[in-house]
Amino acid sequence: MPILSGQKLVTKDQRRKVDKSTHFFGGLRNRISNLQGFTLIELLIVVAIIGILSTIVLANYNSFGTRQEVKNAAGKLKSELRKYQTFAISGQKNPDQSGDCTATPPPDNTLRFYAVVVDPSSPTPYSVFLDCTLVNKILTDDPPWSENTVIAEVGHYNGTSFSPQTSVDIEFRPLNADVNLESPDGTSIPAGSSVYIRLTNNDNSAIYNVFVTSSGEIYDERQP
């Protein structure tokens, strides 16, 4: 039987068509709504993953940077030691042009040695001295590396084990004399040993040892 709708009669077939149309568009809206919700969840997950990965990458980058600083500091220390070793071998007494060791004739003011003294507990843990017959001069008391690198330990090394000491004194003498090594300052190291200077960063994620042997060899090694 036709159904009265306002001023018009709606048959059952027409009503089915309307119901189907309503059902189709309603379902489409539901699918679109579900699709939009799923996409938003995916987006949130991706953002969270990116945030986590960014944090990890940044932490690793910062850690790499501080480790690299320690490596660079070891290289700078080796360079400094070799510089003063070269000054001593060549008999150069005036590297900073101050004139202190050349103020008197060379026979009266002979170069004795360049000394690098390292004492981690001292307010000035790294000092370099120029020692002549009549003059003893401090050339520098600033380490040649950034403040993020610290001197963790010094002592002597016999090839298999480390013996920590309070300080080390490395004396580079002219060509006719060997390198004099003392650890602590004023005490000769055991025969066959070398001195070491251990550098690290604040979290000890990188450690390098710089060695000086009695024959004058200077090298560094990363400590595992």
d(CA 183, CA 178): 16
Q: Tell me the pLDDT band of 44, cut-offs 50, 70 and 90.
A: confident
Give 78-146 as a DSSP string: HHHHHHHHHHHHHT---TTS--STTSS-GGGS-EEEEEEEE-TTSSS-EEEEEEESS-EEEEE-S-SS-
Long-range contacts of 204-209 (CB under 8 A, 24+ apart): 204/152, 205/63, 205/66, 205/67, 206/66, 206/67, 206/68, 206/70, 206/71, 207/70, 207/152, 208/70, 208/71, 208/73, 208/74, 209/157
From 176, 165, 156, 87, select the one nearest 119 (Cα to Cα).
Answer: 165
For residue 139, the model assigns a pLDDT of 87
Here the tokens at position 23 are 């059902």
pLDDT digits 0-9 by tens, 50-79: 878 777 666 665 555 567 889 999 999 999
Question: For the chain, what are the domain ranges?
Answer: 61-222
Its CATH class, for the domain covering 61-222, is alpha beta
Q: Which of 7-21, 59-73, 148-162 has the lowest mean pLDDT?
A: 7-21
Q: Tell me the pLDDT band of 37, cut-offs 50, 70 and 90.
A: low
The answer to whether 137 and 129 are in contact (CB under 8 A) is: yes
Can you say whether residue 95 is alpha, beta or left, with left for phi > 0 and alpha for psi between -120 and 50 degrees?
alpha
pLDDT at residue 127 greater than cutoff 80: yes
Backbone angles phi, psi at 94, to 5 degrees: -140, 60
pLDDT at residue 94 greater than cutoff 70: no
The answer to whether 130 and 123 are in contact (CB under 8 A) is: no
Which residues lie closer than 8 Å to 218 by C-beta, 6 or more apart?
Answer: 78, 81, 82, 85, 210, 211, 212
pTM higher than 0.85 for the full model?
no
For residue 43, the model assigns a pLDDT of 75
